Amino acid sequence: MSENVLDFIKSCVTERKIFWTYHVNMRFKERSISREQIIDAVSSYEIIEEYQEDKYLPSYLVYAKYKETVLHIHVAVDTQNKNIRIITAYRPTPDKWEKDWKTRRKS
């Protein structure tokens, strides 16, 4: 996985070049996740899955840790316009993820 993409994502978060989708805004309250948690966790970001052929832009599933909470953040990358889009964020669950929270369970 490209370090350049991860650096780009981190840079956009740090510089607040972020678009928050309608979907993520709707999910924040029900999932008790905030924009601040996503932003404050930037130093812990790791790309754990890539979706190069996603519908509009290449996107990535990012592992993040905010204090003791593990988050997964789905991020679309718009390198041309120098910004990212946060599509959704959630807390991974043990029924779908291994104990490292980075490896998807085989179904």
CATH number of the domain encompassing residue 31? 3.30.2310
Residue 59 within any structural domain of the chain: yes
> Looking at this protein, which amino acid is placed at residue 88?
T
Residue 98 within any structural domain of the chain: no
**Model pTM score:** 0.93
DSSP-derived 3-state class of residue 65: strand
DSSP-derived 3-state class of residue 66: strand
Residue 106 within any structural domain of the chain: no
Residue 101 within any structural domain of the chain: no
Distance CA 15, CA 11 (A): 6
Residue 84 within any structural domain of the chain: yes
Residues in the chain where the model's pLDDT stays below 50 = 1
- Number of structural domains (the chain) is 1
Structural domain harbouring 39: 3-90
Question: Which pLDDT value is given to residue 88?
Answer: 97
Question: Which pLDDT value is given to residue 1?
Answer: 43
Residue 72 within any structural domain of the chain: yes
Residue 104 within any structural domain of the chain: no
